[in-house]
A and B are shown apart, each in its own frame.
Chain A
Amino acid sequence: MAHVQLFVTCLVDSFYPQTGEAIVNILYRLGIDVDFAHDQTCCGQPSFNAGLRAETRPVAEHMIRVFEKTTGDIVVPSGSCAHMLKHGYPELFQDDPNWLSRAQALGRRIFEFTEYLVDHLEVTNLDARWNGTLTYHPSCHLLRGLDIDRQPRLLLANVRGATIVELPHQEECCGFGGIFSMEHPELSAEWLKRKIGNLEATQSPTLVVAEAGCLMHIAGGLHRQKKKQRVVHIAEVLANQ
């Protein structure tokens, strides 16, 4: 039985454990054994993106050590965390040949969740069912950072019972950007307003994302504005039968 490592990410771990469970279920159903390395924490993206590289290094070293003790591909339910592990770590360790090669070795094992299903397993139909309309927001790091867009759309297109509508101006950032949304809340709020407006224009009750950061941000904005729309991680849609 093939097996993969799950890097669940700090946000899914702390806020959306059901997303992690959905991924485990999907992979089991496909006959893949899932390991969860208990020592995993966070990829270090928040401090790295903010420019605090000295602070990020020990976190990244910790994560590299944790996954070096494991084998198999590593599945990540987040484009930005996968981007951090694949591209951020080599940037972080560019002047340290030892850690750089270890980071690159880790990077080769990293797959974003939908990328793993579609490109690696070549699975596009998960026999999922969803009653109602769905619209998809392509998160920035997934879309432009990793060039992953075809994969989540294919998976959603094969969900029985679901009508997929296109989100207007979908390629625009939702305004999260991690610490950015707290450092520059005025800018973040403008983009969030626009994203929610575009969601409303679709009349879809459900927005699908493949990134817990965007999920938290948009769902938090909808809650503040007392809107009824839901935001779900794509794994939960795909696990639904």
Chain B
Amino acid sequence: MNTEQFRARIRASIANQNLQFALDSNTERRLKGRIAAFESLPDWRERRQSAHAIRADVIEHLDKYLNEFIVNATQNGITIHRAKDSAEAIKIVLEIVGATHLSPQQKPLIAKSKSMVSEEINLNHALESEGIRVVETDLGEYIVQLRHERPAHIITPAVHLRRSDVAQLFHEKLGIPYTEDIPTLTKTARNVLREVFLTADIGISGVNFAIADTGGFCIVTNEGNGRMVTTLPPVHIALMGMERLLRNLDDLALMLSLLARSATTQKLTVYTQLIHKPLAHQQRHIIILDNGRSRLRHSPLKESLYCIRCGACLNACPVFRELGGHAYHSVYSGPIGSVISAGLFGSEFVPLAQASSLCGACKEACPVDIDLPKMLMRVRAGQAAESSEQLLVNSEGGGLSWKSKAFLKMYSRVACHRRLFALSQKFAWLGTLLISPFSDYAYLPAFTGWGYSKDLPRFVGKTFRDSWQDGKQVNRYTSAQVDKEISKQVDSYTGKQTEAETRTPAESNSNSSLVSRFVEELKKVNGNVIQTTKNELTTKIIGFLQSRGVGRVHLEPNVLDEETLSTAGISVSHEADPAIRVGVTRAICGVADTGSILETDGEGGKLQASLLTEVHLAVLKKSEIYPSLSDAIHLVQNSKSAVFVTGPSRTADIEMTLTIGVHGPGELHVLLVDD
């Protein structure tokens, strides 16, 4: 893609009214939301610096941490594969698919949750050309897949569309009556995709973070599709960029606090999963992809590998706001995309980096403080390594037009000599005077670039240096000395930076304040709390079920008094059954400052009870509420698969409109038990 082609795409994007509307509303909501989300994290500045240091350490010692991860994950029973490029990664996927013992006539069905690595290697295309059906299950990804498009944003793939586009699409492809009602559209997708989850032979996901010292990995989704594809099919393949590592669970707790706020303006993503082992009768594979990352790591663009793929820089970027993701012609768009596309995929993406005013909004938004303007300038300076041996030779100023290059080269020569510089100022003055003898501004035609939207002020005949030389123009004030005492008065300005607030009540030792914080946060994320006691628990639940007319529940064993349930006419299942609407589990713990509960795998299809049902009832002891994620995260270590659930399943993939209940339960009730 050369600069002219890129500019043509820029013009097309700007002229697309629908796109501009969608992007403007994305920008405004995301920016406001992110600021609000960080208000609940008073020490975010310190966290951001710690996060930067952690990522720097991981990337610096990547080989060590990768080896540690591979050893631990293998011990956990996960099969690890390494792929040096896209072709190898695809080959590995096809081999795993081929080994699932299906007959040649029966092609497997693959359910996929969002993975940017799979986009990077163009996996869907490769699978489809083998006749394998692969279905994207993130609502936004599903929409773009139906449109035969690529995601327009790493977090919100359908950010470029308005609800009318989705309405028309579902009407045409899914045969439903035309409707712009977002809950109806979401429900339609849920029904279609539920069938896919239940029948898929293989689930494919990405990896948000892998943890070196536990050999586990973390996947976050709001809709619940990530849980579905990693829990239900007998084979799970996780695709992971090789830099996606953290050292330990403490690192993870910190990163998660930044990731969710930056990506989706939440305190924690609804389903924050930590997977350590395969479930019973399940195969788990991780494919670790290099595809240029090793090269990038040894280049001056190394810092770009610190990225945690939150998309905050896209939302903050005024260029992205005009273009959306597609104009970049790379799976990775926005500021980070303009750096790593050149770094990973080669020099044809260098022109992307020239489309930036270096305004720094991206760096400011980055939760791990990547100096993106510096990275963009390094790409411009030809420092994206083309091969492992050499930097791009003679490629400084990549993506610049020859006109600008010629002008800058000449100007730089002139600027090395004072007299030549002063002389050129005179020529420039004469030039603009000739073009515009009667006005202070010169009109330049659009093709000059400058004249596209503005006039050029006339150079002055008498420059500052001329005046200085004359020694006349500069009036030397000797009187009217400002009273320095007054001006040195203590500044009353309090500034924007508020003092870090005192720690929240949730971090105190008082359990009642933890409970009230938990209740407050859970309500904020659309969850509900039912207060009860140990003795009343079963009757409370019976009352709830009867009020809903529910006669059958998927129940985790040893949570409720099953005799009482059966006396009340409620039948119990200890196995997953898609027909059951209500699931009851015991939560391992609660997290006060995010309103989350922890669920793990266990007897009686416990994970499915909080996933496949429409209503999830979780029993939580008040004494098991921890102040924050970092206090609770270590509890996940002994489970095969654990998930912090923060409210009911949700999406905002259509016009950023919050819709509750996508793939996971649409209702979450936490029964808080006094003990």
Contact = CB atoms under 8 A, between A and B. Distances in A.
B464 A21 contact: yes
Contacts of A223: 441, 454-455
A20 B462 CA distance: 12
16 contacts: A15-B459, A20-B467, A21-B473, A36-B464, A50-B408, A51-B398, A52-B381, A52-B408, A52-B412, A91-B374, A177-B356, A177-B358, A182-B449, A188-B453, A220-B454, A224-B455
Give 6 nearest A-B pairs by CB, closest first: A177-B357, A51-B380, A182-B449, A185-B452, A220-B454, A189-B453
Interface string B459-497: 110111111110001111110111110111101010110
B446 interface: yes
A189 B364 CA distance: 23
B412 A56 contact: yes
Interface string A55-70: 1101100100000000
Nearest to A39: B418
Interface in A183-241: 183-193, 216-217, 219-221, 223-224, 241
A176 B357 contact: yes
Given A141-B360, A191-B318, A186 B415 contact: no
Contact of B477 (A29, A179, A184, A221): A29
A21 B481 CA distance: 17
Interface stretch (A100-108, A119-127, A159-167): A119-127
A67 to B, nearest CB: 13
Contacts of A62: 415-417
Contact of B455 (A38, A122, A123, A220): A220
Interface in B422-448: 425, 428, 441, 443, 446, 448
Given A21-B467, A190-B14, 7 more contacts: A51-B353, A52-B400, A150-B495, A172-B359, A176-B357, A186-B7, A186-B14
B460 A14 contact: yes
A36 B412 contact: no
A216 B454 CA distance: 9
A36 B452 contact: no
A127 B443 CA distance: 38
Contacts of A144: 359-361, 363-364
A182 B405 CA distance: 12
B322 interface: yes
A187 B453 CA distance: 10
A154 B493 contact: yes
A101 B400 CA distance: 31
Contacts of B484: 30, 123
A42 to B, nearest CB: 4
A17 B397 CA distance: 31
B408 A21 contact: no
A49 B400 CA distance: 11
A146 B259 CA distance: 26
A117 to B, nearest CB: 9
B511 to A, nearest CB: 41
Nearest to A21: B474
A29 B468 contact: no
B345 interface: no
A17 B460 contact: yes
A78 B396 CA distance: 26
B363 A186 contact: no
Nearest to B480: A29
Which interface class (under 10, 10 to 19, 20 to 34, 35 or more) fits B? 35 or more
B481 A29 contact: yes
Interface string B352-390: 011111111101100000000110010111100000000
B621 to A, nearest CB: 46
A123 B487 contact: yes
Interface of A: 8, 10, 12-17, 20-21, 24-25, 28-31, 36, 38-42, 44, 46-56, 58-59, 62, 91, 122-127, 140-141, 143-145, 149-150, 153-154, 157, 171-173, 175-193, 216-217, 219-221, 223-224, 241
B544 interface: no
Contacts of A171: 361
Interface string B395-407: 0111111001100
A179 B412 contact: no
Contacts of A31: 481
Given A124-B491, A145-B360, A177-B359, A183 B475 contact: no
Nearest to B452: A185
Contacts of B396: 51-55
Nearest to B323: A187
B416 A179 contact: no
Given A17-B460, A38-B418, A150 B496 contact: yes
Contact of B456 (A12, A24, A46, A220): A220
Nearest to B429: A14
Contacts of A217: 454
B21 interface: no
Contact of B415 (A10, A153, A187): A10
Contact of B408 (A8, A46, A123, A141): A46
A202 B364 CA distance: 26
A208 to B, nearest CB: 17
Given A30-B484, A144-B363, A153 B460 contact: no
A214 B517 CA distance: 47
B421 A182 contact: no
B464 A187 contact: no
Most buried by A among B360, B409, B478: B360
Contact of A187 (B10, B413, B441): B10
Nearest to A61: B416
A191 B455 CA distance: 16
Contacts of A16: 460
B450 A38 contact: no
A178 B354 CA distance: 11
Contacts of B56: none
B457 interface: yes
Contacts of B481: 29-31
Nearest to B495: A150
Contacts of B359: 140, 144, 172-173, 177
